[in-house]
Amino acid sequence: MSCGQCRIVLVDDEPMVVAAISAFIALETDHELVAFNDPEAALDYLDDHQVDIVIADLVMSSMTGEAFFEEVGRRHPRLPRLLLTGCCDQQRVQAAGGMGLTGQIDKPWCNEELRRLIETSVEARRRAREQVAEPGAQPAGDAPS
């Protein structure tokens, strides 16, 4: 089930992971993927562009996934966030899960599971936007001005 084209931001400091997910998204979906190896650059991009989903790794060298997701949540509280992780520290993964995440993708990932989580997140984002567009609804507060 496709929910239409959306823009996905992917953040992972491993170039092979970015390349593999980029190829999957390009070949198997109609979504646009904007990929970053640097979480700070991704945060800057999120501030200036309309994005539907952000996917980020938990363990990165320049910024932890926890810090990244905390900042995304502060700046864009309604933006769906998917955790991508190969981290074996289950306490750390569970702690990150309390940061308003929409879902979790374990490395190595299954492309069909990745697709399902993306489509579920796209649909949730679409419903949230429709709710905001209804008369009397509160603004989402996460779109760039």
| Triad 33, 62, 109: Cα angle to 5° | 45
| 77 DSSP 8-state letter | T
CA dihedral 34, 35, 39, 42 (to 10 degrees): -10
pLDDT of residue 113: 95
Q: Give the predicted TM-score (pTM) of the model.
A: 0.83
CATH number of 7-133: 3.40.50.2300
Alpha-carbon span 90 to 118, nearest angstrom: 23
**pLDDT tens profile 66-117:** 899 999 999 999 899 999 988 766 665 566 556 678 888 889 999 999 999 9
- Report the mean per-residue pLDDT for the chain: 85
pLDDT attached to residue 67: 92
- pLDDT of amino acid 4: 65
Task: Identify the weakest region by mean pLDDT among 43-52, 56-65, 100-109.
Answer: 100-109
Q: Are 92 and 2 in contact (CB under 8 A)?
A: no
Of 2 and 24, the one with more pLDDT: 24
Q: pLDDT tens, 28-42? A: 999 999 999 999 999
